[in-house]
């Protein structure tokens, strides 16, 4: 299933386009910039302030480091979540914000000048899990995934999970769900997918950057969710693929519409992103 622009489901995960947002009046040098991000280090005219999505932060860290080497300009980027990036861009405490989901009408109207969205990258949201002594790769279907996050499937050896993991011994562990506690573009993408594949999820929870989660523990940023999964036996959470790889974490194969279980990888994500993106006026 592919969802164009900020959502492209790779039948394994959600491939998204992170974007940077600029306004003609955003200003890290503004005298009104009084919050912690603005104080974080705009020491001179060679520093650009940014804040927002945790999803692309591994890429941004590398990009901004290389940019500094060739230009001597510093980019001080605070990985605080898409919601925080939008909020700080609105309050003019940063030069740019980053969000996995574009601004909605309400957010647009709160700005003192129009925002320009610049698509930067695409990545994948994967379902990472912590099952000690489990050596196989877990298979998940859209229906099973929705039921886990609704709290309806409570054990890892539930018959519904066992049915799509034949021949595999699943542990008799309680399922612990980890989700974002902050306003998150990653949550927006994940819940939008669940709303499309599960009528129950759509009716009971819906989609958005912040939702009322039926069950689970909240973590701030991709880093927080990854930490919860890594530290909690029986835990499952949604994170960007780079965080799973960097932390040596296991992540599931997702079943696509054809019934095949797809492994998240650079190749499968690239294949999912190989689509024509409809031109939108808010993007360059």
Chain segment 144-174, per-residue pLDDT in tens? 999 999 999 999 999 999 999 999 999 999 9
**DSSP 3-state assignment of 143?**
helix
**Mean pLDDT within 197-214:** 96
**pLDDT more than 90, % of the chain:** 56
Give me the pLDDT at residue 197, please. Answer: 95
Q: Provide the Cα torsion 43, 44, 50, 54; round to 10°.
A: -50
Identify the DSSP state of 10: -
What is the pLDDT, as a whole number, of residue 279?
52
- At 45, the pLDDT band (50, 70, 90 cuts) reads confident
Name the least confident of 113-117, 148-152, 168-172, 257-261. Answer: 113-117
Better pLDDT: 59 or 158: 158
Q: Quick check: helix, strand or coil at residue 215?
A: coil
Enumerate the H helices of the chain as residue ranges: 36-39, 57-71, 82-90, 105-109, 142-149, 159-163, 185-197, 199-204, 221-231, 241-246, 266-273
| Mean pLDDT of the chain, nearest integer | 83
Structure confidence at residue 43 (pLDDT): 53
Helical (H) or strand (E) element with 254: strand 253-255
Higher pLDDT, 175 or 273: 175
Three-class DSSP category at 20? strand
Cβ atoms of residues 38 and 114 within 8 Å:
no
Q: Give every CB contact of residue 73 below 8 A, 6+ residues apart in sequence.
A: 46, 47, 48, 67
Average pLDDT over residues 240-244: 88
pLDDT above 90 (res 30): no
Confidence of residue 277 (pLDDT cuts 50, 70, 90): low
- At residue 184, does pLDDT exceed 80? yes
Q: What is the pTM of this model?
A: 0.74
Helix/strand/coil for 149: helix
CB 191 within 8 A of CB 168: no
- The percent of residues in the chain predicted with pLDDT above 70, rounded, is 82
CATH assignment, 16-123: 3.40.190.10
3-state helix, strand, coil in the chain (%, to 5): 30, 25, 45
Q: CATH top-level class for 125-273?
A: alpha beta
261: helix, strand or coil: strand
CB 222 within 8 A of CB 54: yes
User: How far is Cα 43 from Cα 57, in angstroms, rounded to an integer?
Assistant: 22
| pLDDT band for position 10 (cuts 50, 70, 90) | very low
Do 129 and 145 touch, CB atoms closer than 8 A?
no
What is the rounded distance in angstroms from the CA atom of residue 222 to the CA atom of residue 233?
A: 18
List CB contacts of 109: < 8 A, sequence separation 6 or more: none
- Ordered by start, the domain boundaries in the chain are 16-123, 125-273
Position 67 scores a pLDDT of 94
Q: Which residue has the tokens 């900020």?
A: 6
User: Sign of the CA dihedral 192, 197, 198, 203?
Assistant: positive
Contact in structure between 17 and 117 (CB atoms under 8 Å):
no
Asked if residue 276 has pLDDT above 80, the reply is no
Same topology, domains 16-123 and 125-273? Answer is: yes
Write down the residue that tokens 């939702």 correspond to. 211
């Amino acid at each position: 299933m592919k969802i164009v622009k900020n959502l492209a489901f790779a039948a394994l995960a959600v491939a998204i386009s992170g974007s940077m947002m600029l306004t003609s009046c955003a200003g890290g040098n503004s005298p009104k910039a009084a919050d912690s991000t603005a104080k974080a280090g705009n020491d001179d005219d060679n520093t650009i302030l940014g804040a927002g999505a945790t999803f692309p932060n591994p890429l941004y860290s590398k990009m901004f480091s290389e940019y500094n080497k060739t230009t001597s300009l510093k980019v001080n980027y605070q990985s605080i979540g898409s919601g925080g990036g939008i909020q700080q861009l609105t309050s003019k405490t940063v030069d740019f914000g980053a969000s996995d989901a574009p601004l909605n009408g309400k957010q647009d109207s709160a700005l003192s000048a129009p925002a320009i969205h610049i698509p930067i990258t695409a990545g994948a949201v994967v379902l990472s899990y912590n099952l000690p002594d489990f050596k196989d790769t877990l298979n998940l279907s859209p229906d099973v995934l929705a039921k886990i996050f609704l709290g309806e499937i409570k054990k890892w050896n539930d018959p519904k999970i066992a049915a799509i993991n034949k021949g595999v011994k699943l542990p008799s562990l309680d399922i612990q769900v980890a989700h974002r506690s902050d306003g998150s573009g990653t949550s927006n993408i994940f819940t939008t997918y669940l709303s499309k594949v599960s009528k129950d999820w759509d009716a009971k929870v819906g989609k958005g950057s912040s939702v009322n989660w039926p069950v689970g523990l909240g973590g701030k940023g991709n880093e927080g969710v990854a930490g919860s999964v890594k530290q909690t036996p029986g835990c499952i959470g949604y994170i960007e693929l780079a965080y799973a790889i960097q932390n040596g974490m296991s992540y599931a194969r997702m079943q696509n519409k054809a019934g095949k279980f797809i492994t998240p990888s650079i190749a499968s994500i690239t294949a999912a992103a190989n689509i024509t993106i409809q031109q939108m006026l808010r993007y360059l």
